[in-house]
Amino acid sequence: MYRNARRWTSRSLLLDSLVPRWLTVGGKGRPRKPADKREDSAQLATSVQTADGNKHDGTLVDNPHNNAALNEHDVGQSAGVIGDADSGVDISHPAPSLPALPDAFAANRETGVQSGNTAASRLFAHTPGFAGFERDAHGVAFGAQSSLYRSYAGMSLIGDDPLAPYLPQSPAPRVSGEGSAAVTGERAHSGNVVILESSPSAQATAHQTGADSLAFGMPFGVCGCGYFTSPTRILDWAHGGAVLQQDGQLPGTRLTEGPDFVSTIKRAIGASTSDPLLDRNLSPLSGWRGTATWTADSTILNGSLPGGGEIGTGTATKGIGTLSGSVTTPPSTQRSLTTQNLAAAAAANNLIVLENQKQGNPESEWGIDGAGSSNIEGFATDISVDNGKTISFKINTNSTNYRIDIYRLGYYGGMGARKVDTIQHTGLQTQPNPLRNASTGTVDAGNWAVSASWTAPEDAVSGVYIAKLVRQDGTSGQNHIPFIVRDDDSQSDIVFQTADQTWQAYNGWGGANLYGGNGPATGQGAGRAYAVSYNRPIATRGGVGTFAGPQDYLFGAEYAGIYWLEQNGYDVSYLSGVDADRYGSLLLNHKTYIDAGHDEYWSGQQSTNVEAARDAGVNLMFWSGNEVYWRTRWGNAYSADGTPYRTLISYKETFSPTASIDPSNEWTGTFRDPRLSPPAVGGGNPENSLTGQLFKVDDVGSNLQAITIPYDDANLRFWRNTSVANLQPGQTATLTKNYLGYEWDEAVDNGFDPAGLVKLSSTTLPVSTYLLDYGNTTGNATSTHNLTLYRAPSGALVFGAGTVYWTWGLSDNHDNQATPTDPRVQQAMVNLLADMGIQPGTLQSGLVAATGSTDNVAPTSIITVPATAAVGSTVTITGTAADTGGGVVAGVEVSTDNGASWHPATGDENWTYSWSPQVAGSYTIRSRAVDDNINLETPSSGRTVTVSGPSYTSLFGSATPAVVNTDDTSAVELGVKFQTSAAGTITGIRFYKGSQDTGTHTGSLWSSTGTRLATLTFTNETASGWQTAYFTSPVALTAGQTYTASYHTNTGHYSTTADYFISNVTSGPLTAPATGNGVYTYGSASLYPTSTFRSTNYWVDVMFNPSASNTTPTAVADAGNATEKGGVANGSGGVVASGNVLTNDTDADAG
């Protein structure tokens, strides 16, 4: 046995192997002792687990496509990375001086490349230092520094080398030799075995060969330019003294020292992980999954090596260590199988890279025109299938001869898809008319017979697949059936969810969709169905259905995201929106979840599952707009089989706000609508609590816009490595037009916005389709769009694009308007994925590999606020913030109620916040800053403000309008009717001001007959928010009488929330009646307002003081919706700060 363990130079190095070449690494040898004597032939052993985890229970599978058995065309390779603990290589001392790179390459050329049936143990002297790279028709040889000896072992390819057409083919000198025992021998040997362990599945062990060398599997080999293109994982690299490039990649070696050359020291491999010939980054092919470290205190494990390679006895060190005892070479068949499975297991770490190296098929072959032909159409019996399982197709056609071509969507060298199978069908099959449920308007073709079935191979790569139906009977006809192949065992970095619920919600095949048609709904959305079936051909792309079109289907925006992810070799697997509901636990197997395009319809359970994944640390990326808007639930198929998850139900109860129309107790209106929850379950949960974004701008059609990034946002980490980062003060960057649309969201302060939400851009535009309420009405307004990012308490990052067409910036492969991509968008996504711990496998030309941040230091903030203030006055709170952890301040939030609720301030390093206290007392003002690494400050104890003066009760407290700035520019008087159940006085009037509502504003109090009782003028107004003014003397009110409070604006742009007064609004003794409320009168002078429109709240309020002694109002414990932001509900009851008083909270002085 070998008594002296070997040690990695430069601390430790883990190479996660994926592709079929054998790398031999040699270290400086020491004089051998008798016990060190080895057999005269080197050994190579491999040990792996199966490629797909548990599916074969560890059984090795013979696959000729993965056969990497050693053969007579093997080519030697070597590199020195191992030093002996007892040898002259001392890693604690500076490295010896190295020859210049051209000299090192010349030395390597002189040494030559061995090929043929070569003995693996044959040694060649070589000068320490960098050894060059050489390639011949059979393979590559390369060396590395600190190797006094070079040792060669056999190597072979798995299939054709995909890089061969792009790499130099210059021959090098060859040496033939005796056949290696690694190829032909069956003898037993003993020696040190180094175990390289990574998770989840790839493992390799290698028997040390002559001259202290080590053999183990490596991916892709080396390109002829001198760039090492295999993925490497460097542990403690900086501690070892090596110098990395600024982007974190390994420094390169070339025949000439190129512009990115950085010398390496202390015996680190001098190899770059980029491929300049193809101009793509091949470094993270292994997905950077798994780690291994070596320490003196490593755990000792007993037993044999896993996976079926060489069987050893004795003890092994987990990670990187030694195995002592006898090692027996398995039979050659087993050894060949083990080699095959090493490649398979390694490939499992990033199947997307390997899959996209396969020959694709052009879109002219796999694509169709629009929704396809009506003379051949069908659907899959499930929206998704796990690999290894069978999916069936039900097809309706009068053709007796057609085929079904199965394609997987991806990159495939720009082809966009790859044909994986073909099913031929002959004979006439007559399908019955589909079923129809009159009460819901649902059309269900589940009564059709199965026409064909397809079993997804066990090794099928997860993806979005299409079954293309092609008539072969002389009649033209083609169509698509989309479905997803899952891999339920996958632990890919990314899981991509399709928006299939939205595909079906807009699908009008059969007569009705969830927007209109021949369904039973009346009133708003008349003719719509209440439920739609997945048992139908999807005709959405062709515009079949009310409001349907390509934007509501796979190729509107989702495919562009899929194409880009696979182009860049991201480790991704796929599932459907249905799966996110029924198999929610699968989300926990991945680092990041991506939702893309127009994903408007979500089930309640789906939302719960995605939220749970976030809270478990899974990052979320919403490359989408109008997402998580309509809440749905699932039902069984109407056909006799009653298959679950085949009926998508949404009664759109927001269209019927006075009574629930869904027969179940589960809410199926908009997620944000609280009006009928309770009794319904699931309403009143705005989507921005999950996504950071709230849908606001409805369909703008082709009027697409450009996203802008002002200078204040340009220095955020999100924009690193882009031209945005070079903005100068006063400048604004504008991304390529069309990404903002056709529907988009806002980042709103509604009490549900996540803590530490950072705005990454800012685009303000007038629109005519602004959502004015919970989902019923749109109108003119000014909208501000922001890209957003926040970090959940679990550490998960959540990105919200807030626009349907964000993926158009990643790829131009999509329907509708032809739009160029934008490298700033692409780089920003590379940056963000790197911050989520995910690297690309084949980074496209022009992009820079990014690294994650090590900054975990939160910024700090300081508050400046007056020590005293008056009730109803506007208090301007100011402060500063600083970040010392390496980032920049990205935002500040302020609390005026000692941390019970938080709201965004204006600014970053210097910030302001306006506050209008309504109740006298002592207030604690606190602040917390967030940096661009989304580190959120733990707030200090804050500052105390004493508010004096008469307190008051108001109708709306600190609530805010749905529309802050309307587009109406007319002079107008706007008001609210109210009553009081107790005698008291009105001391003043409040109104909510939008930033565009400028000029002088006056307020008035009117009797029920239109007599003006008092008037006032607003002074010292802030730019926006609640404004307060007092009458010269309080006005006494009579209980039970109706009064009107109003304000006048000459410039318009007032604030609104439509359908606000559909029921009485009560706050303590004050009530705003539902009937005829929300009043206005146009005119340049102040007039009594009497007109109404859709029960709109124009956000005029009163300050009322009951005649009895005043006490602090008490909050009702509202169920389930309390958040730290204050918002719509108070979840605990008790005394509540006046800024959070709600309509169902009470005041002890109500009379």
pLDDT of 125: 25
Q: How many residues does the chain have?
A: 1151
Backbone torsions φ then ψ of 1070, nearest 5 degrees: -90, 140
- Does residue 617 sit in the same domain as residue 709? no
Cβ atoms of residues 196 and 231 within 8 Å: no
What pLDDT band is residue 1108 in, cutting at 50, 70 and 90? low
Check which CATH number belongs to the domain holding 883 and give it.
2.60.40.650
- Three-state DSSP class for residue 640: coil
Name residue 1016's beta-bridge partners: 1003
Does the residue 1151 lie in any domain? no
Chain Cα centroid distance, residue 616: 15
pLDDT at 1143 exceeding the cut of 60: no
- Does residue 393 sit in the same domain as residue 312? no
Check which CATH number belongs to the domain holding 1097 and give it.
2.60.120.820
The DSSP symbol for 670 reads B
Does the residue 328 lie in any domain? yes
- Does residue 984 sit in the same domain as residue 916? no
In angstroms, rounded to a whole number, what is the distance separating the alpha carbons of residues 412 and 360? 5
- Does residue 289 sit in the same domain as residue 386? no
Residue range 200-221, pLDDT digits in tens? 222 222 222 322 222 222 222 2
Query: What mean pLDDT do residues 723-732 have?
Result: 95
Query: What mean pLDDT do residues 1014-1027 have?
Result: 91
In angstroms, rounded to a whole number, what is the distance separating the alpha carbons of residues 825 and 735? 8
Range from 182-196, 782-796, 1057-1071 carrying the lowest mean pLDDT: 182-196
Of 248, 251, 245, nearest in space to 269 by CA? 251
What pLDDT band is residue 722 in, cutting at 50, 70 and 90? very high
In angstroms, rounded to a whole number, what is the distance separating the alpha carbons of residues 1151 and 929? 43
Backbone torsions φ then ψ of 136, nearest 5 degrees: -125, -170
**What contacts 45, CB < 8 A, 6 or more positions away?**
193, 205, 206, 207, 309, 310, 327, 329, 335, 338
- Does residue 919 sit in the same domain as residue 776? no
Angle CA 517–521–523, to nearest 5: 105
Beta strands in 427-541 (DSSP E): 435-437, 442-444, 452-455, 463-471, 478-486, 494-497, 531-533
- Three-state DSSP class for residue 335: helix
In angstroms, rounded to a whole number, what is the distance separating the alpha carbons of residues 147 and 36? 19
170 or 476: which leads in pLDDT: 476
336 or 1133: which leads in pLDDT: 336
- Does residue 380 sit in the same domain as residue 300? no
Range from 162-166, 284-288, 709-713, 766-770 carrying the lowest mean pLDDT: 284-288
Name residue 135's beta-bridge partners: 140
pLDDT of 1150: 37
pLDDT at 320 exceeding the cut of 60: no
Q: Give residue 43's domain range.
A: 6-353
- Does residue 400 sit in the same domain as residue 348? no
pLDDT of 6: 26
Cβ atoms of residues 152 and 122 within 8 Å: yes
Cis-peptide, bond into residue 710, ω within 30° of zero: no
pLDDT at 277 exceeding the cut of 70: no
pLDDT of 348: 47
Of 540, 379, 376, 394, nearest in space to 474 by CA? 376
What pLDDT band is residue 809 in, cutting at 50, 70 and 90? very high
The rounded mean pLDDT for the chain is: 73
In angstroms, rounded to a whole number, what is the distance separating the alpha carbons of residues 1100 and 798? 36
Backbone torsions φ then ψ of 991, nearest 5 degrees: -145, 155
Residue range 247-260, pLDDT digits in tens? 333 333 222 333 33
Query: What mean pLDDT do residues 1088-1106 have?
Result: 94
Of 1077, 1084, 1091, nearest in space to 972 by CA? 1084
- Three-state DSSP class for residue 338: helix
pLDDT of 1024: 87
Does the residue 849 lie in any domain? no
pLDDT at 1109 exceeding the cut of 50: no
Query: What mean pLDDT do residues 457-475 have?
Result: 98
Q: How many CB atoms lie within 10 A of CB 1132?
A: 10
Residue range 903-926, pLDDT digits in tens? 999 999 999 999 988 888 999 999
Domain count, the chain: 5
pTM for this structure? 0.66
What pLDDT band is residue 793 in, cutting at 50, 70 and 90? very high
pLDDT of 11: 27
pLDDT at 661 exceeding the cut of 70: yes
Name residue 764's beta-bridge partners: 784
Q: Which string of DSSP letters, residue by residue, matches 681-730?
A: BS-S--THHHHS-EEEE---TT--B--EEEHHHHTSGGGTTSGGGG--TT
- Does residue 993 sit in the same domain as residue 1110? yes
Does the residue 660 lie in any domain? no
Residue range 31-51, pLDDT digits in tens? 323 333 333 222 222 222 222
Query: What mean pLDDT do residues 628-651 have?
Result: 97
Does the residue 830 lie in any domain? no
- Does residue 347 sit in the same domain as residue 392? no
Q: Which two tokens stand for residue 699?
A: 């369909």
Of 112, 111, 114, 126, nearest in space to 173 by CA? 112
pLDDT of 81: 27
pLDDT at 541 exceeding the cut of 90: yes
- Does residue 907 sit in the same domain as residue 1008? no
919 or 488: which leads in pLDDT: 488
Alpha-carbon torsion angle 852, 856, 862, 868, nearest 10:
110
Check which CATH number belongs to the domain holding 580 and give it.
2.60.40.1930
pLDDT of 46: 25
Does the residue 929 lie in any domain? yes
- Does residue 647 sit in the same domain as residue 727? no
Residue range 502-517, pLDDT digits in tens? 999 999 999 999 999 9
Does the residue 54 lie in any domain? yes
Does the residue 485 lie in any domain? yes
pLDDT at 536 exceeding the cut of 50: yes
- Does residue 122 sit in the same domain as residue 156? yes
Residue range 834-892, pLDDT digits in tens? 999 999 999 999 999 999 999 999 999 999 999 999 987 889 999 999 999 989 999 99
Among 655, 678, 707, the domain-final residue is: 655
HSE-CB for 486 with a 13 A CA cutoff: 22
Residue range 386-433, pLDDT digits in tens? 999 999 999 999 999 999 999 999 999 999 999 999 999 999 999 999
